[in-house]
Structure 1
Amino acid sequence: MHFADAPSPRRKPSLTPMIDVVFLLLVFFMLASQFGLDQVVRLPLAAAGNTAQAYSGPPRLVSITPAGVLLNGIETPLAELPDALQSLTETLNDPVILRGQEAATSQRVLDVLGHLQDTGFTAVVLVE
């Protein structure tokens, strides 16, 4: 009669190589990913003797509220704001004053600023 060898006890697999691979993947994805995009907001600086940025002409005060945009105190849709400002300026280099109201978020102010800069206004001045 032939007896089979007794089955050897199973070895438990080592988890060390798997943990090393997971750690290396974690480090790789942390180094390869971008957590946020940096964006530069260009604002002109007003100098005391700068005559190129001297304010002249009718008032151009854009007030930003959470609900909308006010041009010189009159509610103006954001899409119509550049056209309304062009009627108040001689060139696109004329200064436009941008002011955020108390409840307006910084993102809302940046959205309006970006919209004005995208339509060609280069001298947007942000005031508190």
Structure 2
Amino acid sequence: MRFEASSRHRRRISMTSLIDVIFLLLLFFMLSSTFSRFADVELGTRGGTGAAAADLVPAFIKLSEGRTSLNGAPLPVDDLARELAHQQSVNRINVLIVSVDATANSQQLVDILLIARKLPGLGLQIVQ
């Protein structure tokens, strides 16, 4: 039996099904994967069970554009953790009041929150 060359047709493979499968796999992996969260800052509220006002020993931080001051004295953010730990041991501060100026940026506030989070027994209040 002889086959003629003209009767042999090459069938083209449809790429539509392959593209659909790849799309579904991509969609599945995107929806089932977890994205890591980094630099989360947990904020808690102190309800009515907090210490009485007479028991509070505050430290005051003022944030403005490019400037941070602790109890009225200018202080770089790099030295703030060390100074707050010193104030906590010497003056027994137990609450940190942070005043945020309208010119302060959010990164300054996040830096202060991360520093305050590392100090045990230190409450935090944010005022404007």
Equivalent in the alignment of 2:44 = 43
Range moving further from structure 2, 32-41 or 113-122? 32-41
Q: Which residue of 2 aligns with 1:32?
A: 32
Structure 1 alignment gaps of length 5 or more? none
Name the residue aligned to 1:60. 59
User: Partner amino acid for 1:85?
Assistant: L
**Which residue of the partner structure matches residue 78 of structure 1?**
77
SS in structure 1 at match of 2:92: coil
Whether 1:18 aligns to 2:18 is yes
User: Paired residue for 1:6?
Assistant: 6
Shift of 1:53: 6.0
C-alpha separation in 2, matches of 1:6 and 1:55? 99
Report the alpha carbon displacement of residue 27 of structure 1 after superposing the two structures with TM: 1.2
* Cα distance, 1:40 vs structure 2: 4.8
Contact 1:60 1:71 in 2 (8 A): yes
Task: Tell me by how many angstroms 1:70 deviates.
Answer: 1.2
**TM-score (normalizing by structure 1):** 0.70
| Alignment match, 1:117 | 117
Q: What CA deviation, in whole Å up to 9, does each residue of 1:76-95 have, x standing for no partner?
A: 11232133334544436x11
Q: Structure 1 residues 55, 70: closer, same or farther in 2, change over 3 A?
A: farther
The answer as to whether partners of 2:64 and 2:101 remain within 8 angstroms in 1 is: yes
**CA displacement, residues 88-121 of structure 1 (integer Å, 9 cap, x when unaligned):** 44436x1110122212222331221111211335
Q: What is the TM-score with the length of structure 2 in the denominator?
A: 0.70
Q: Which runs of 4+ in 1 moved over 6 A?
A: none
Contact 1:63 1:98 in 2 (8 A): yes
